[in-house]
A and B are shown apart, each in its own frame.
Chain A
């Protein structure tokens, strides 16, 4: 069965420092991978997605993620964090291109210190 693991429940990063949020997935075939962000009182906003091709994908707000099949990972990165990046981040995997369910990780809460 598919599963997603986000090992870090809570991370604190200084403003201007780099960020990496970890995501590991379990799925037999090539997965469809997503990162969503949720700010307080807001819905889940898509940051970026991976389907195929280049394993380094660029998203909104300066985020990028790298798909590493050998490590079953899809880690999210940002070179310089801004205070407005404080939010909860969810990694998700989908089975295919069709309208099937997304499987989410438990999320990582990012705090940004000044």
Chain B
């Protein structure tokens, strides 16, 4: 069964460093998403991406964040200058246009630890 994959599973970085989190969505999907979950808190929406542009973003998704689909398979989230409060689990999700009612398929997550 096709699935969303994410790499790395765990990333440790120093405050102020740039990180890139990688996702490979399901191959025929057209909508892509990033969510995050700070330990003990809700899963929060960051950004959605369709047709090579951002279609929606939350207030969390400020200028420090960017997303890119550099080729036909990868979808990346970049944090330019990480802060301690960026430590969280980051989930990628994708959706097929034809899937009924916004069903999103999630990857296993990348745990980001900022020291």
| Per-residue B-contact encoding for A74-107, CB less than 8 Å = 1, 0 else | 0000000000000000101010111111111111
A32, CB-defined interface residue at 8 Å = yes
Among B33, B44, B48, B102, max chain A CB count under 10 A is at B102
Q: CB distance A106 to B102 under 8 Å?
A: no
Interface mask (B86-107 → A, CB under 8 Å = 1, otherwise 0): 0000010101010011111111
Q: Determine the chain A residues whose CB is within 8 A of the CB of B20 once the complex forms.
A: none
Interface size class of A (residues with CB under 8 A): 20 to 34
User: Judging by beta carbons under 8 Å apart, are B41 and A98 in contact?
Assistant: no
Of all chain A residues, the one with the shortest Cβ separation from B55 is: A99
Shortest CB-to-CB span from B92 to chain A, Å, is 9
- In the complex the two chains form, is B101's CB within 8 Å of A103's CB? no
> B47 CB to closest chain A CB, in angstroms?
9
With A41-B108, A42-B108 in contact, do A97 and B102 touch (Cβ < 8 Å)?
yes
Are B101's CB and A32's CB within 8 A? yes
**Residues of chain B within 8 A of A36, CB atoms compared:** 106
B107 touches A102 (CB 8 A): no
In the complex the two chains form, is A100's CB within 8 Å of B101's CB?
A: no
A20 to chain B, nearest CB (A): 21
Please report the C-alpha to C-alpha distance between residue A102 and residue B102 in the assembled complex, in whole angstroms. 8
Question: Do the beta carbons of A104 and B42 come within 8 Å of each other?
Answer: yes
User: What are 6 residue pairs bridging A and B, where the CB atoms are less than 8 Å apart in the complex?
Assistant: A41-B108, A44-B43, A44-B93, A99-B97, A100-B48, A102-B45
